[in-house]
Structure 1
Amino acid sequence: MSRKSIEALPSGHYWAVPHAPFPLDGGNGHDEVFPGAHCISDCKWVTFYKDGEEVWACNALYAAAHFDFVPVPRQPLGDS
């Protein structure tokens, strides 16, 4: 069985939505992001925001594996 190769989330601003819940995902930050949140990636680290406040962060490879992303134009953090 071949494994899907996952690349780190590229730098940019995104709308992030967690993948379907997985039993081992409890307590790892996905709840803070659900049902979706604005995030910023620097290709190494991804920080998630709601209402302009940071709610969670993780490395860009983990984010790419566990969330769906839609690029969004850059916006001030207060407008998340």
Structure 2
Amino acid sequence: MSIQKTIAPLPRGHYWATPHAPFPVDGPNGHDEVFPGAHCVSDGKWATFYKNGEEVWACNAMYAAAHFDFTAVSRAGASTAN
């Protein structure tokens, strides 16, 4: 019998995101664009990743929660200049 982990979508907020290791770097999956870390803004349905003030990748909040680690940051402390 296998136990499946239930994953909830990434909640609304600002985060510092890092890809789970090891992460696939082949293909347009966004993991390499986010590595080693990026600012992430989630509206609870969609997650957008930023580096140096530029959007580098986006995905749905469920995929983000399953494939990245997140640390919440305050909106005042959140910067897209990462």
Structure with the higher fraction of residues in helix conformation? 1
Q: Structure 1 residues 76 and 17, CA, compared in 2 at 3 Å: closer, same or farther?
A: closer
- Which consecutive segments of 4 or more residues in structure 1 shift more than 2 A? none
Identity of aligned residues (%): 71
Normalised TM-score (structure 2) = 0.87
TM-score (norm 1): 0.89
Task: Specify the alignment match of 1:26 in structure 2.
Answer: 26
- Mapped to 2, the partners of 1:49 and 1:4 lie a distance apart of 28
Unaligned runs of 5+ in 1: none
**Pairwise CA distance, 1:2:** 1.0
Partner of 2:11: 10
2:50 aligns with 49
CA RMSD of aligned residues (A): 1.4
Residue 76 of structure 1 and its aligned partner are, at CA, apart by 4.6
1:16-48 per-position Cα deviation (integer Å, ceiling 9, x unaligned):
00001345x522110000000000000000000
1:21 match: secondary structure: coil
The amino acid across from 2:21 in the alignment is: A
**Hey, what's the Cα distance between the residues in 2 that align with 1:33 and 1:26?**
14
- The offset of 1:7, in angstroms, is 0.2
